[in-house]
Amino acid sequence: MSDEGATSRQMALLVAVHQMPGASQSQVAQAIGLDLNTCSDLVARTTAKGYLVRRRSETDRRTFCLDLTEIGREVMAASVAVAPRYQARLAERLDKGEREQLTALLRKMLGFDE
């Protein structure tokens, strides 16, 4: 999705961490709809690219908290800028009513309408 080589899952992770700086891996996993093991693997790969840093929680040493690096913020911002074009390409076979219906169903499925 980005020119930097970030996958769509990594972008979801970066956006979630941007919205919840310092959140635990389990909080981020829940926010993006992944189980903890899958999220841990995703965090490891995204950290290896230099987009995230993991640090131990000050209140619970068993917990890792996540923050974006400067490069992670840049990659996220660049990807967010191209997201409308990406979404338009994905939905180009749908007419306006179908796109609106899809958006409404996805918002409902993800709990954004609550």
pLDDT, position 4: 53
Tens of pLDDT, residues 13-69: 999 999 999 999 999 999 998 999 999 999 999 999 999 999 998 888 888 899 999
Asked whether 64 and 24 are in contact (CB, 8 A), the reply is yes
Q: What is the pLDDT of residues 68-84, one digit of tens each?
A: 999 999 999 888 888 78
Full-model pTM: 0.75
* Cβ atoms within 10 Å, residue 44: 11
Checking if the pLDDT of 1 tops 70, the result is no
Q: How far apart are CA 82 and CA 78, in angstroms?
A: 7
Written as six digits, the tokens of 29 are 């996993």
d(Cα 101, Cα 94) in Å, to the nearest integer? 10
Query: What is the structure's pLDDT at 62?
Result: 87
User: What's the rounded Cα separation, in Å, for the pair 22 and 10?
Assistant: 17
